[in-house]
Structure 1
Amino acid sequence: MVAAAGGHRAMNSLGKQGSHYLVFGAVQWLLDWGVMVGLSHLGLPVRQANVAGRVCGALIGFWLNGRFTFAGEDTTLGRVQFVRFVLLWLATTFLSTWMIGAVDDYLGLKWAWLAKPLVEVVLGLLGFLVSRHWVYRR
C-alpha cells in the first residue's frame, strides 16, 4: 500500500510538473520567438536574433521553473542549479541556433520563423527531462 501511495504521489508530481512546465514553457517560447522574429525582421542575422530570444526566455524560465515547476524537498534554486541551467541552456541554444540557421540558409528567413516552434518543442522535451532529473536537484 505504501509503494502504491508513493507511486501515486510521483505521478501527481510528474503531472503537476509537466503542466507547469508547459505553461511556463509557452510564456518563455512566446517571448523567445517574438524577440527572434522581431530582431531578425529588423535586420539582425537570424542566428544572433535566436540567441537574443533564447536569453530573454531563459531569464524568466530559470526562476519560474525553479520556484514553481520543480520546487520540492529534494530540489533547490541556488548557484549550483544556476550553473547546471546555464550548461543546459548553452547546449540547447547551440542546437537551436544551428538548426534555425540551417533552415534560414537553405529555405530562407520565413521558414526559419516557422521552424523555430518545432525546434523548441523538441528541445523543450529534452530540457524537461534534464531539468527534472539534474538541473534543480540538490
Structure 2
Amino acid sequence: MTHPARSSALSAQAIRYLISGGGVVALDFLSFCLLTRLWPDAYVAANVAAKTIGALSGFFLHKHFTFAGEQAHGAPTQLTLYIALYVFNMALSSAIIFGAVEVLGWHELLAKIVADVIVVATSFVTCRLLVFAQRATGAVQRR
C-alpha cells in the first residue's frame, strides 16, 4: 500500500512536471516546426536541434521547480545523468520519427507528437527516480 505522503508528493511532482514539461515540449515543438519549415527535408536534424533547446530549459525547470527539494545528487551528477537521458531521448525520438515518416508514411508533425508522448512519459519516471531523486531521510552524502 502506498503511503499517503508519498502519493501526495508524487501527485504534486506529476502536476509540476506537466506544467514545466508542457513548456519544454511547447518550446521543443515550436522549434521543430520552425526548423522543418526552413529545411523541410531535415526533420531528423530539426528534431535533434529542437530536443537540445528543450533539454537546456528542461534541466533548470526540473531541478528548481518540478523536483525541487533536498536532492540526493549534486548539480554535476544531475547534469551528467540529465545529459545521458537527453542523448537517449534524442536517439529514441529521432528513431521513432524516422521510422514513422520513412516506413509508415506519416507526416513528420504526427510522428513528432507520438515520439514526444513516449519520451515525456519515460523521462518523468527517469528524472524522478534517478536524475533528481530526493535525498533519503537521514542521508547526508552529496555527490
* Range of TM-score over shorter length: 0.7 to 0.9
| In the alignment, structure 1 residue 119 sits paired with structure 2 residue 115 | yes
Instruction: Using structure 1 for the length normalisation, give the TM-score.
Output: 0.87
1:10-25 pair list within 5 angstroms: 10-25=6-21
C-alpha contact (below 8 Å) 1:66/1:136 kept by paired residues: yes
C-alpha contact (below 8 Å) 1:24/1:65 kept by paired residues: yes
Deviation at 1:73, TM superposition (A): 2.2
Give secondary structure in 2 for the equivalent of 1:73.
Answer: coil
| In the alignment, structure 1 residue 96 sits paired with structure 2 residue 120 | no
C-alpha contact (below 8 Å) 1:66/1:76 kept by paired residues: no
Partners of 1:77 and 1:118 in 2: CA distance: 33
Aligned length: 132
1:40: which partner in 2?
36
2:124: which partner in 1?
128
C-alpha contact (below 8 Å) 1:66/1:77 kept by paired residues: no
Deviation at 1:41, TM superposition (A): 1.3
Residues 43-52 or 99-108, more deviating: 99-108
| In the alignment, structure 1 residue 78 sits paired with structure 2 residue 66 | no
Structure 2: runs of 5 or more not aligned: 134-141
The one-character-per-residue Cα deviations of 1:81-134 (angstroms, maximum 9, x if unpaired) are 0000000110011010111122222425xx111221221111111101110010
1:49-68 pair list within 5 angstroms: 49-68=46-65
Partners of 1:77 and 1:129 in 2: CA distance: 19
Partners of 2:33 and 2:7 in 1: CA distance: 37
C-alpha contact (below 8 Å) 1:46/1:104 kept by paired residues: no
Percent of paired sites with the same residue: 29
Partners of 1:105 and 1:115 in 2: CA distance: 10
Instruction: Using structure 2 for the length normalisation, give the TM-score.
Output: 0.84
The one-character-per-residue Cα deviations of 1:18-53 (angstroms, maximum 9, x if unpaired) are 001011111111111111111111115001000010
Partners of 1:113 and 1:93 in 2: CA distance: 16
Structure 1: runs of 5 or more not aligned: none
Deviation at 1:135, TM superposition (A): 0.6
Name whichever structure is richer in helix by fraction: 1
CA RMSD of aligned residues (A): 1.9
C-alpha contact (below 8 Å) 1:32/1:53 kept by paired residues: yes
